[in-house]
Amino acid sequence: MYIKKAEGSISEFVWKSPILDSTDGLSTTVFTHCIFLPLQNRLPGIKVKYLLVVWLGIFVGSWVAYMHYSSYSELCRGHICRMIICDQYKKGIISGSTCKDLCEEHSLRFQHCLSSSPTQQVYSGLWKEKEVIIKCGIEEALKADSNPDSIPRRDVVLFDKPTRGTSMDEFKEMLLNFLKSNLGDQTSLAALVSQIITMADVNRDGKVSLAEAKSIWALLQLNEFLLMLSLHEKEHTSKLLGYCGDLYITEKIPHNSLYGADIPAFLQSLLPAAVHQVIHQWFAPAWPRRAKITIGLLEFVEEIFHGTYGNFYICETSFRNVGYNDKYDFKMVNLRKVATEMTIRGFLKGRHCEQNVDCTYGKDCMATCDKLMKQCKSDMVQPNLAKVCRLLQDYLLYGAPPDLKEELQKQLRTCMTLSGLASQMEVHHSLVLNNLKTLLWKKISNTKYS
């Protein structure tokens, strides 16, 4: 039974246990009435739309959580990657400087999954008590067998070159021809071939075994690895620390976004652009530090324009592909979004087009379309610098010193209008880039930020 309490008490109704007074013949129905009758009297005061909003919020939240965790098993297959690599290592098919650590001593450990594609596995890891990034591709493995837990025969598909009986001279010729087709006929390629041979010789015996040769050849087929070798002298790319087969390890860049922090992928589509901008500005480094990072980015653009091994193009200019270290030195996070001039020329050659957008390699490496011949030309609509300046506009202008802001805005606007035509690249590109670097450096030089 229930007893009505005095006015001003905590609750209007208090349940009296049937065990203490079983003679009343009370049932659980009384308890239901006791609890819900007062609530029922209040329900008309609750607006239906509020209940609907709450329900909708719960539904959307549940859906986001489900999609996030259901995609994890598809994207994150590090255990398959490790299983394939170690299986081939134990068979003597592949070799590498980190194979023993990965497959025997287990001192190279996968930690957090960072993959954005099931065919390109990216993990943070720990190697010799140091944080690293581990990358390996399992595209051929997924094609080979529909069962993700089986060990595919990827050695037949990927590690097929060079074949047994290939001499060292023949292997060097293979490497040189490969580099010419991907980087162009540069005079410096012979030095790069020597560097590759030295890297392949894991046990430092002055010879390259078949397993060593197959491993380095497979790695060279990966665009990012090839670019890391080509740009290894530059300080703005991640350092290559080791490899096993076509799995390779790089240094971990502490801040893998231009703004220092990024919105989780499952929330990006739910938040409006204005909220994105506020969050980025909130987490962005102080303006002088952003100026220092920008100078590094401009130096990288300068380095890949007529570099030692030819020209390179940034084909997805996004703040998520660039970052910086703890000293606020710029680092290119994702070299997979960078392409060689030869790669783009091969893509454009003989390609049919109706307009410029039909001549796009990657996300934003767009060439011009010859509308009379209906074929793509080799001239880029925008050079790297113009695309980078567009990326930097919000990044640099927010919080910029008042005495600098007007001139900075003017130079960024000039930079964004640069044309990719070869006739205009040499003079205009260098002039605009140096002017922008000088403007920023003068502001932060002789300060603690420099």
Phi, psi of 288 (to 5 degrees): -60, -35
Inside any domain, residue 124: yes
User: Of 218, 251, 284, which one is at a domain's C-terminal end?
Assistant: 251
Residue 309: the pLDDT is 87
Residue 31: the pLDDT is 43
Report pLDDT digits (tens) over 61-98: 665 554 544 455 678 888 889 999 999 999 999 999 99
Calculate the average pLDDT of the chain: 81
User: Residue 307: pLDDT band by 50, 70, 90 thresholds?
Assistant: confident
Inside any domain, residue 28: no
Q: Is the pLDDT of residue 350 over 80?
A: yes
Closest C-alpha to 159, from 222, 83, 93: 93
Is 228 found in the same domain as 284?
no
Residue 57: the pLDDT is 72
Is 194 found in the same domain as 113?
yes
Q: What distance in Å separates the CA atoms of residue 200 and residue 435, rounded to the nearest whole number?
A: 42
Least confident of 13-17, 59-63, 253-257, 436-440: 13-17
Is the peptide bond preceding residue 401 cis, with omega within 30 degrees of 0? Answer: no
Q: What distance in Å separates the CA atoms of residue 91 and residue 28, rounded to the nearest whole number?
A: 71
Inside any domain, residue 34: no
Residue 421: the pLDDT is 67
Residue 152: the pLDDT is 41
Is 120 found in the same domain as 168?
yes
User: Of 216, 251, 286, which one is at a domain's C-terminal end?
Assistant: 251
Inside any domain, residue 55: no
Q: 315: domain range? A: 265-446
**Contact between 333 and 250 (Cβ < 8 Å):** no
- How many CA atoms lie less than 13 Å away from 195 in the CB half-sphere? 14
Inside any domain, residue 38: no
Partners of 135 in beta bridges = 122, 248
Residue 1: the pLDDT is 44
User: Residue 269: pLDDT band by 50, 70, 90 thresholds?
Assistant: low
Is 305 found in the same domain as 360?
yes
Inside any domain, residue 8: no
Is 214 found in the same domain as 269?
no
Is 271 found in the same domain as 245?
no
User: Of 219, 251, 283, which one is at a domain's C-terminal end?
Assistant: 251
Across the range 321-330, mean pLDDT stands at 93
Inside any domain, residue 260: no
Which residues does 66 contact at the CB level (< 8 Å), separation at least 6?
A: none
How would you class 378 by CB atoms within 10 Å of its CB: exposed for 0-12, middle for 13-18, buried for 19 or more? middle
Is 417 found in the same domain as 355?
yes
> pTM here?
0.77
Is 306 found in the same domain as 387?
yes
Is 376 found in the same domain as 237?
no
Q: What distance in Å separates the CA atoms of residue 258 and residue 281, rounded to the nearest whole number?
A: 11
User: What's the helix, strand, coil split of the chain in %, to 5?
Assistant: 50, 15, 35
Tokens representing 21 are: 């007074």
Is 205 found in the same domain as 298?
no
**Contact between 366 and 355 (Cβ < 8 Å):** no
Tokens representing 199 are: 């890297």
Inside any domain, residue 88: yes
Q: Is the pLDDT of residue 254 over 80?
A: yes
Q: Is the pLDDT of residue 107 over 70?
A: yes
Is 135 found in the same domain as 218?
yes
What does the buried/exposed string (b/e) look like for 102-137 if buried means 16 or more CB atoms within 10 Å of the residue's CB? bbeeeebebeeeebeebebbbbebebeeeebbbbbb
Whole-angstrom CA distances from 286 to 259, 261, 283, 444, 446 are: 10, 14, 9, 12, 17
Q: What distance in Å separates the CA atoms of residue 341 and residue 3, rounded to the nearest whole number?
A: 86
What is the CATH number for 300? Answer: 1.10.510
Q: What is the DSSP string of 154-178?
A: HHHHTS--SPTT--HHHHHHHHHHH
Which residues does 276 contact at the CB level (< 8 Å), separation at least 6?
A: 263, 268
Report pLDDT digits (tens) over 395-441: 999 999 999 999 999 999 999 998 866 556 667 888 999 999 999 99
User: Residue 264: pLDDT band by 50, 70, 90 thresholds?
Assistant: low
Q: What distance in Å separates the CA atoms of residue 158 and residue 152, rounded to the nearest whole number?
A: 11
- Give me the number of domains the chain comprises: 2
Is 295 found in the same domain as 165?
no
Residue 267: the pLDDT is 66
